[in-house]
Amino acid sequence: MKSLRWSAVPGALAVVIAILLALRIDTVMRRSKGWQGNGCIVGPYDPSERTYLWLLTLSAGITLLVTALIALAAKTAQLRVAMAIIAVPVLLMSTGYLMFVWTGGESTNRPNVISECSFG
pLDDT tens-place string over residues 36-84: 555 565 566 677 888 888 999 999 889 888 888 888 888 888 888 888 8
Note down the domain range covering 89.
7-30+45-105
Q: Which residues contact 72 (CB under 8 A, 6 or more apart)?
A: none
| Residue 11 domain-assigned (yes or no) | yes
Of the given ranges (3-7, 31-35, 82-86, 95-99), which has the lowest mean pLDDT? 31-35
| Residue 38 domain-assigned (yes or no) | no
CB atoms within 10 A of CB 42: 14
d(CA 23, CA 36): 22
> 37 φ, ψ to 5°?
95, 10
| Residue 39 domain-assigned (yes or no) | no
Q: How many CA atoms within 13 Å lie on the side-chain side of 24?
A: 23
What is the tally of structural domains in the chain? 1
Distance, first Cα to last Cα, the chain: 65
